[in-house]
Structure 1
Amino acid sequence: MAAKPKLYYFCGRGRMESIRWLLAAAGVEFEEEFLETREHFEKLLKDGHLLFGQVPLVEIDGMMLTQTRAILSYLAAKYNLYGKDLKERVRIDMYADGTLDLMIMIAAAPFGASENKEATYATIIQKAKTRYFPAFEKVLKDQGEDFLVGNAFTWADVQLFEAILMLEELDAAVLSDFPQLKAFKARVGSMPNIKKFLQPGSQRKARPDAHYVKVVKDVLRF
């Protein structure tokens, strides 16, 4: 029996959360090792596991993989969530990169100046409503299918669903003007593996709090 993928990261969302989501959507169980001290991080560096001196780090199929985008691409291909041909894959990449841009803005906000957080979140919500969500609303309408690419569930759908949930934590009514996205969220949210990951006690991580921010800053020394 193959070993479960092992994820090395902080006990929080950050850049690892999309990897957790993709594994969960594929129905793949995984283990986690949380970074809590600078010494732990330096050991990974010393052991040569962090190619560019950064996490996330995923141990899978005898490899130690770094760089979020590369990890996601590998997992999507391995678990048949990456389309049937190159034309579908490039669209999946395009949509996934768009949602990743949005999610990185949200993930970075807790590390900014505390007095600017509300303004930062307001800007993110505005960008979601005027740039990102209209684009995905159009894609879904033009596609006329249940999912973004080829009427099959893919990595792009997983990441869009994750992004929607992140935005709804900031503004519960963020989808009020986007009926296609509302229906999409309901469809994806009803899928068994997704429903399971949304349940309390899953390996899905909570919104970053002050403790998480402090641990990350202490370990990475910034």
Structure 2
Amino acid sequence: MAAKPKLFYFQGRGRMESIRWLLAAAGMEFEEEFIETKEQYEKLKKDGCLLFGQVPLVEIDGMTLTQTRAILSYLAAKYDLYGKDLKERARIDMYADGTMDLMLMIAVAAFKPPEEKQESYSLIVNKAKTRYFPVFEKILKDHGEDFLVGNRLSWADIQVLEAVLMVEELDASILSDFPLLKAFKARISNIPTIKKFLQPGSQRKPPPDSRYVEVVRRVLQF
């Protein structure tokens, strides 16, 4: 039996969380090794595991993969979550890249000083309302299907749901003006593998707290 994918990252969301989501949605079990010290990180670099000296790192199918986008693309293709043809794949890429921009804003804000953090979160909520969520509301209206691309689950659906839930943590009423996106959220959340990942005790990580920020700063020395 093939070994489970193994994920190397900090014990928190960051750039690894979308990878966890994609594996979980595909129904795949995975192992995690959490980086807690500078020594662990330096050993991965010394062993040649980190192509550009960066995590996330995923061991899968006899390979060591780095670079978040490359890992996500590989997993989406491997688990048939990447559309039926190049045209669908291009749309999935657009939607995934757009939501990744939004999620990275949230991830970066966690490292800002307390006096700047709330202002950053307010700006992110405003961008979600005015730039990102209207796009997906329109896509759902124009497409008229349960999913964003084609009529089956794809990487785009999974990542948009992840982004929606992250913004809802900042503003619980964010979907009040987006009824189709609200229905989409409920629909995708009830897919069995995703529903399982959303339950307490899963490998889904909570919003970044002060300990997560402190560990990342210490290991990466910034």
Please tell me the TM-score bracket, short chain as reference: over 0.9
- What is the Cα-based RMSD across aligned positions, in Å? 0.4
SS in 1 for 2:175: coil
- The 5 A counterparts of 1:19-34 are 19-34=19-34
In the alignment, structure 2 segments of 5+ residues that lack a partner are none
Say whether 1:61 aligns with 2:72. Answer: no
Number of the residue aligned with 2:85 = 85
SS in 2 for 1:115: helix
In the superposition, the TM-score normalised over structure 1's length comes to 1.00
Instruction: Give the Cα–Cα distance (whole angstroms) in 2 for the partners of residues 206 and 27 of structure 1.
Output: 20
Number of the residue aligned with 1:108 = 108
SS in 2 for 1:205: coil
SS in 1 for 2:174: coil
Spell out, residue by residue over 1:67-91, the C-alpha distance to the aligned partner (whole angstroms, 9 max, x if none).
0000000000000000000000000
Instruction: Give the Cα–Cα distance (whole angstroms) in 2 for the partners of residues 189 and 153 of structure 1.
Output: 12
Instruction: Give the Cα–Cα distance (whole angstroms) in 1 for the partners of residues 40 and 200 of structure 2.
Output: 28
What amino acid sits opposite 1:188 in the alignment?
Answer: I
Spell out, residue by residue over 1:112-139, the C-alpha distance to the aligned partner (whole angstroms, 9 max, x if none).
1221111000000000000000000000
- The 5 A counterparts of 1:87-166 are 87-166=87-166
Instruction: Give the Cα–Cα distance (whole angstroms) in 2 for the partners of residues 113 and 201 of structure 1.
Output: 30
Number of the residue aligned with 1:52 = 52
SS in 1 for 2:129: helix
Number of the residue aligned with 1:11 = 11
- % same residue: 76
Q: Offset at 1:163?
A: 0.3
What amino acid sits opposite 1:144 in the alignment?
Answer: G
Spell out, residue by residue over 1:115-171, the C-alpha distance to the aligned partner (whole angstroms, 9 max, x if none).
111100000000000000000000000000001000110000000000000000000
What amino acid sits opposite 2:59 in the alignment?
Answer: E
In the superposition, the TM-score normalised over structure 2's length comes to 1.00
Please identify runs of 4+ aligned residues in structure 1 that moved more than 3 A: none
SS in 1 for 2:11: coil
Aligned residues: 222
Instruction: Give the Cα–Cα distance (whole angstroms) in 2 for the partners of residues 210 and 49 of structure 1.
Output: 28
SS in 2 for 1:183: helix
Instruction: Give the Cα–Cα distance (whole angstroms) in 2 for the partners of residues 123 and 64 of structure 1.
Output: 37
Instruction: Give the Cα–Cα distance (whole angstroms) in 1 for the partners of residues 219 and 76 of structure 2.
Output: 30
Number of the residue aligned with 2:186 = 186
Instruction: Give the Cα–Cα distance (whole angstroms) in 2 for the partners of residues 150 and 206 of structure 1.
Output: 31
Instruction: Give the Cα–Cα distance (whole angstroms) in 2 for the partners of residues 193 and 173 of structure 1.
Output: 26
SS in 2 for 1:65: strand
Instruction: Give the Cα–Cα distance (whole angstroms) in 2 for the partners of residues 110 and 74 of structure 1.
Output: 28
Instruction: Give the Cα–Cα distance (whole angstroms) in 2 for the partners of residues 29 and 84 of structure 1.
Output: 25
